[in-house]
Structure 1
Amino acid sequence: MREGLVPTVLGTAVTASGVALRGKFPAVGWGVVGFGLAHIVLGAIDLVEHRK
């Protein structure tokens, strides 16, 4: 499995959860979205950095 793939997929799931939370708890939802987006960015950096 490529390095960086797990954080990217996890970040996608966390971001989707945050978007779902925005309706009921807007502040918490946006915080979760930001946390998920950070995982996506860091995972993408790992994916690009460790290309063969």
Structure 2
Amino acid sequence: MREGLIPTVLGTVVSASGATLLSSKYKLVGIGVLGFGLAHVVLGAIDLVEHR
């Protein structure tokens, strides 16, 4: 399995769950979860590009 694939997939799942929280009464929590997920996507993508 390629290095960086797991953080990228996990970040996508976390970002999607954070996006669903944005429409609820927990908007601030949703923003935090979305940012955390997007950070994982970016760091995983960097690993994928770096270790071709």
Whole-angstrom CA distance in 2 between matches of 1:31 and 1:23: 14
TM-score (structure 2 length as normaliser): 0.95
1:1-26 alpha-carbon deviations (Å, 9 max, x no partner) = 00000000000000000001111111
Letter in 1 for 2:49: V
Structure 1 counterpart of 2:29, one-letter code:
V
SS of equivalent residue, structure 2 residue 2: coil
One-letter code aligned to 1:9? V
The residue number in structure 2 matching 1:36 is 37
Gaps in structure 1 of 5+ consecutive residues? none
Structure 2 runs not aligned, ≥5 long:
none
Q: Which residue does the alignment assign to 1:20? A: 20
Percent same amino acid at aligned positions?
73
Aligned residues: 51
User: How high is the TM-score relative to the length of structure 1?
Assistant: 0.95
